[in-house]
Amino acid sequence: MNLPTRVLSGIQPTGEMHLGNYFGAIQQHIALADAHPHECWYFIADYHALTTVHDAEALRRGVREIAVTYMALGLDLERATLFRQSDVPEVTELTWLLSCVTGMGLLERAHAYKDKVANGLRASMGLFCYPVLMAADILVYGSSLVPVGKDQVQHVEMAQDMATYFNEAFGRPVLRRPEWQLSRAPYVPGLDGQKMSKSYGNTIPIFASGKTLKKLVGSIVTDSTPLGQPLPTERDNVLALLDLFLDEGERETVRGYYRAGARDGAPFGYGHAKMMLGERIDAHFAAARARREALLADPQQVDDALARCASRARALASETLARCREACGLR
Ligand code: ADP
Ligand code: TRP
């Protein structure tokens, strides 16, 4: 049977979205939604967030922030589905069914679990079973393509294994095998040059503006080349961030300023490059910022959109779950 490509990805609501999230994930999600109308399913992974967030208000805020961010950035919820993971409780039932065919050994090999525990997170059952819930997320919607960052590839491979275990255990091809897809996104450096990440406190939020944005951009770490001297075009954080907003021609022009340490006969230094970057960020997200403000002022509109999407997702999940229940003798 030739099934259509079905795209699925989950986003954890664990903090303010930043430029790394935008260029590393959200931009591709929106592009995929344009390329595969009605076949993209994105959810806000609030069940997963419970492995680390134990603050109801923070969780609710995080969920709304992601919904508003995707909507403001242009994800069209008539053509793509964006929903709360916990609005589809069927996924937790599938988690149990998968748990019963999955060996402990598979989960014990999960890098993300080992890393989190090594970093001091309490080894709860939830944290340990995280990949089973993630497999259920993927399999319950019959997903074929899962766009993720490198750190999540192993989890998608585990979902492939779990689909096979289930189908073999019950002798029926009930669950579709998903493939992962790495985003072709650039590595976005943070203010200090490490990978931009909430965990490193080095982010530029997508919707930062005005003085806050100016201050953040001003704090990007550079070397100490004096004003008027040639600036390095390799390994410079300002240029790496600026590149994300420039077309080919503009990149060459700015590299010219860097190499000369001058623009139109006047000295050009990091301060000028930072000013260009601040202006680009500000302009790039101006329309989305305005849409975000409007959405934040009308939370009902956001809730209604999420609810409509959730009922589509739930209908799809129930069909898969009914087949799984049938296959394993639960009815
Ligand atoms: P964080 O590191 O801030 O906790 P997440 O791990 O929640 O971010 O990342 C969510 C998505 O954004 C993932 O798909 C990840 O690959 C992408 N992403 C996050 N930071 C970056 C970055 N600095 N460069 C490129 N992609 C990133
Ligand atoms: N674990 C993913 C992350 O931390 C989020 C996630 C949960 C997910 N379920 C998923 C991603 C299913 C893709 C598919 O980024």
Give domain limits for the chain.
7-188+299-328, 208-284
Q: Tell me if 25 CB under 6 Å of ligand 1.
A: yes
Tokens found for residue 44: 């806000």
Q: Tell me if 9 CB under 6 Å of ligand 2.
A: yes
Q: Mean pLDDT over all residues of the chain?
A: 96
Q: Tell me if 240 CB under 6 Å of ligand 1.
A: no
> What pLDDT is stored for residue 199 in this prediction?
87
| Top CATH class, 208-284 | mainly alpha
Helix axes 56-72, 299-328, angle to 10 degrees: 100
DSSP H or E stretch at residue 7 = strand 7-11
> What pLDDT is stored for residue 1 in this prediction?
59
The closest ligand to the CA of 203 turns out to be 1
Query: What's the whole-model pTM score?
Result: 0.95
With residues binned 3-state (H G I as helix, E B as strand, rest as coil), the percentages for the chain, rounded to 5, are 55, 10, 35
Tell me the best of 6, 8, 11, 143 to mutate to test the pocket of ligand 2, counting ligand atoms within 8 Å of each CB and taking the most: 11
Task: Note whether 41 and 264 are within 8 A (CB).
Answer: no
Q: Which atom of ligand 2 is nearest to the CA of 45?
A: 7
94-107 pLDDT, tens digit each: 999 999 999 999 99
Q: How far is the CA of 11 from the centre of ligand 2 (A)?
A: 6
Please report, rounded to a whole number, the percentage of residues in the chain having pLDDT higher than 90.
95
Q: Tell me if 217 CB under 6 Å of ligand 2.
A: no
Tell me whether domains 7-188+299-328 and 208-284 share a fold.
no
CATH code assigned to 7-188+299-328? 3.40.50.620
Residues of the chain with pLDDT under 50: none
Closest residue (by CA) to atom 13 of ligand 2? 9
Task: Note whether 135 and 158 are within 8 A (CB).
Answer: yes
Q: Tell me if 10 CB under 6 Å of ligand 2.
A: yes
Q: Between the CA atoms of 188, 57, 130 and 76, what dihedral angle is there, to the nearest 10 degrees?
A: -60
Please report, rounded to a whole number, the percentage of residues in the chain having pLDDT higher than 70.
100
Q: How far is the CA of 9 from the centre of ligand 2 (A)?
A: 6
Q: How far is the CA of 301 from the centre of ligand 1 (A)?
A: 28
